[in-house]
Amino acid sequence: MTATDVCLPGMVLCARQHTAIVKDIRKLAEETWAVRVIVPEMAKTILPGQFFMIRPSNGSDPLLGRPFALFDTWQDSDGTSGIDFGFVRVGKMTSLMSQWTPGDSVQLWGPLGNGFPIPECKHLLCVAGGIGQTPFLGVTREALGLKSYGSPARVLEQRPETVSLCYGVRSKAYLAGLDEFRLPGLDLQIATDDGTFGHHGYVTDLLTRRLDQKQASTHVYCCGPEPMMKAVAKICAQYSVPCWLSLETPMACGFGACFSCVTKVREDDGSWDYRRTCVEGPVFPAEKLVL
| Residues 2-27: tens digit of each pLDDT | 444 544 444 444 678 999 999 999 99
Higher pLDDT, 66 or 194: 194
pLDDT of residue 65: 81
How many domains, in total, are found in the chain? 2
117 lies in a domain?
no
pLDDT of residue 29: 95
Q: Judge if 161 and 274 occupy the same domain.
A: yes
Residue 204 has pLDDT above 80, yes or no: yes
Q: Judge if 96 and 140 occupy the same domain.
A: no
Nearest to 123 by CA among 166, 62, 93, 85: 166
Q: Judge if 253 and 147 occupy the same domain.
A: yes
139 lies in a domain?
yes
Domain encompassing residue 199 = 123-288
Which whole number is the average pLDDT over 181-204?
97
Q: Judge if 102 and 129 occupy the same domain.
A: no
Q: Judge if 106 and 143 occupy the same domain.
A: no
Nearest to 127 by CA among 47, 211, 10: 211
Distance CA 245, CA 265 (A): 12
Measured CA to CA in angstroms, residue 224 lies from 66, 129, 253, 264, 291 at distances of 17, 5, 21, 18, 14
Which whole number is the average pLDDT over 46-56?
94
% of the chain residues with pLDDT over 70: 94
Q: Judge if 155 and 248 occupy the same domain.
A: yes
118 lies in a domain?
no
pTM over 0.85? The answer is yes
Label residue 120 left, alpha or beta by phi (over 0 means left) and psi (-120 to 50 means alpha).
beta
241, 219 contact by CB (below 8 A): yes
- How close are the terminal C-alpha atoms of the chain, in Å? 41
Domain boundary among 77, 112, 147: 112
**What SS3 string covers the chain?**
CEEEEECCCCCCCCEEEEEEEEEEEEEEECCEEEEEEECHHHHHHCCCCCEEEEEECCCCCCCCCEEEECCEEEECCCCCEEEEEEEECCCHHHHHHCCCCCCCEEEEEEEECCCCCCCCCCEEEEEEECCCCCCHHHHHHHHCCCCCCCCCCCCCCCCCCEEEEEEEECCHHHCCCCCCCCCCCEEEEEEECCCCCCEECCHHHHHHHHHHCCCCCEEEEEECCHHHHHHHHHHHHHCCCCEEEECCCCCCCCCCCCCCCEEEEECCCCCEEEEECCCCCCEEEHHHECC
Residue 252 has pLDDT above 70, yes or no: yes
Q: Judge if 89 and 145 occupy the same domain.
A: no
The amino acid at 50: Q
56, 96 contact by CB (below 8 A): yes
pLDDT of residue 10: 46
84, 34 contact by CB (below 8 A): yes
77 lies in a domain?
yes
Distance CA 168, CA 232 (A): 12
pLDDT of residue 11: 46
Q: Judge if 282 and 153 occupy the same domain.
A: yes
Q: What is the mean pLDDT of the chain?
A: 92
Instruction: Provide the pLDDT confidence category of residue 61 given band limits of 50, 70 and 90.
Output: low
Q: Judge if 56 and 90 occupy the same domain.
A: yes
Domain boundary among 89, 112, 135: 112
Q: Judge if 138 and 106 occupy the same domain.
A: no
Domain boundary among 84, 112, 140: 112
Instruction: Provide the pLDDT confidence category of residue 249 given band limits of 50, 70 and 90.
Output: confident
pLDDT of residue 59: 67
Residue 276 has pLDDT above 50, yes or no: yes
pLDDT of residue 1: 44
Nearest to 221 by CA among 147, 286, 157, 156: 286
Angle subtended by helix axes 203-212 and 226-238, to nearest 10: 10
Instruction: Tell me the CATH number at 245.
Output: 3.40.50.80
Q: Judge if 228 and 127 occupy the same domain.
A: yes
pLDDT of residue 214: 82
pLDDT of residue 63: 67
Q: What is the pLDDT of residues 66-79, one digit of tens each?
A: 899 999 999 999 99
Instruction: Tell me the CATH number at 92.
Output: 2.40.30.10
Q: Judge if 254 and 284 occupy the same domain.
A: yes
pLDDT of residue 237: 97
279 lies in a domain?
yes
Q: What is the pLDDT of residues 77-113, one digit of tens each?
A: 999 999 999 999 988 889 999 999 999 999 999 999 9
Distance CA 291, CA 237 (A): 13
Q: What is the pLDDT of residues 149-172, one digit of tens each?
A: 999 999 999 999 999 999 999 999
pLDDT of residue 3: 45
pLDDT of residue 49: 97
